[in-house]
């Protein structure tokens, strides 16, 4: 499967000072992975196509970040269904070769998100981030934009995590890797460890990131292997 492809950034938060954390996180992941030829990054901001509203003012599918959120919104819980929104990004028409073609999507939203029970995985009352391998990642800032927390640092930690998960790090074949639901997680002192309780776990991971560095040695090796493969596809 192709690993060198453009990365599209989107958010539905409008202007917010912590946005710079996204770019800083991406730069650090590229540096850690010793990426030689970075994938093209396109920032769509608060994406809204010119025809994002239909004649009756309804949201037109796939033409705004508003639609992705609204379509995946569970109206009873008033939370976004993580599987459904990832599925929208994975199956969007923009992925056709005569449109944008294959790419990564990273979407940051302010709405709260939950994970439904699926494939034997139990429901999670809330999740901060979720990634689909080599396709898309979605992050909700709802639980980490905490008034007493460090929004920039927590967001940077989570963007770095979800980028790594989207790039297939950690590799499930390792013996220091565990599963959180269906997703591989690292067991070392590393930001790719499981994280559940917000904001506490993000505080812990961020402290570890600043003190010990973001990734353990094995995850660094996996990330470099990913970029090595991507670089070779681009050569």
The answer to the question of residue 35 lying near Zn ion (CB under 5 A) is no
CB nearer to Zn ion: give 32 or 39: 32
Residue from 216, 222, 227, 230 binding Zn ion (CB under 5 A): 216
Q: How far is the CB of 209 from Zn ion (least distance, A)?
A: 11
Please state whether 168 falls in left (phi above 0), alpha (psi between -120 and 50) or beta: left
Q: Is the peptide bond prior to 170 cis by the omega test (within 30 degrees of 0)?
A: yes
Question: Distance (Å, rounded) from C-alpha 105 to C-alpha 117?
Answer: 23
The answer to the question of residue 163 lying near Zn ion (CB under 5 A) is no
Residue from 160, 219, 223, 230 binding Zn ion (CB under 5 A): 219
The answer to the question of residue 192 lying near Zn ion (CB under 5 A) is yes
The answer to the question of residue 164 lying near Zn ion (CB under 5 A) is no
Nearest to 128 by CA among 103, 102, 165, 76: 165
The answer to the question of residue 188 lying near Zn ion (CB under 5 A) is yes
Q: How far is the CB of 186 from Zn ion (least distance, A)?
A: 3
Question: Distance (Å, rounded) from C-alpha 214 to C-alpha 137?
Answer: 19
Q: How far is the CB of 191 from Zn ion (least distance, A)?
A: 8
Nearest to 137 by CA among 126, 128, 145: 128
Query: Cα–Cα–Cα angle for 164, 133, 180, nearest 5°?
Result: 75
CB nearer to Zn ion: give 69 or 192: 192
The answer to the question of residue 190 lying near Zn ion (CB under 5 A) is yes
Interaction site with Zn ion (CB under 5 A): 186, 188, 190, 192, 216, 219
């Amino acid at each position: 499967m192709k690993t060198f492809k453009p990365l599209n950034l989107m958010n539905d938060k409008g202007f917010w000072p912590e946005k710079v954390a996204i770019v800083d996180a991406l730069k650090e992941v590229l540096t850690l992975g010793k990426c030689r030829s970075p994938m093209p990054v396109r920032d769509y901001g608060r994406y809204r196509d010119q025809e994002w509203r239909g004649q009756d003012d309804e949201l037109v599918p796939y033409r705004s970040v508003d639609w992705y959120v609204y379509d995946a919104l569970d109206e009873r819980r008033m939370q976004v269904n993580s599987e459904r929104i990832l599925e929208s990004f994975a199956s969007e028409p923009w992925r056709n070769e005569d449109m944008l073609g294959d790419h990564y999507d990273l979407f940051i939203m302010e709405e709260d998100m939950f994970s439904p029970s699926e494939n034997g995985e139990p429901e999670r009352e809330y999740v901060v981030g979720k990634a689909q391998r080599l396709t898309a990642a979605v992050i909700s800032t709802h639980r980490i934009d905490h008034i007493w927390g460090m929004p920039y640092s927590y967001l940077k930690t989570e963007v770095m995590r979800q980028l790594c998960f989207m790039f297939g790090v950690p590799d499930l074949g390792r013996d220091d890797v565990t599963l959180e639901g269906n997703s591989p997680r690292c067991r070392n002192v590393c930001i790719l460890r499981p994280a559940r309780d917000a904001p506490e776990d993000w505080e812990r991971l961020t402290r570890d990131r600043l003190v010990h560095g973001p990734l353990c040695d094995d995850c660094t090796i996996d990330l470099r292997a990913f970029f090595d493969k991507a670089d070779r596809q681009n050569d």
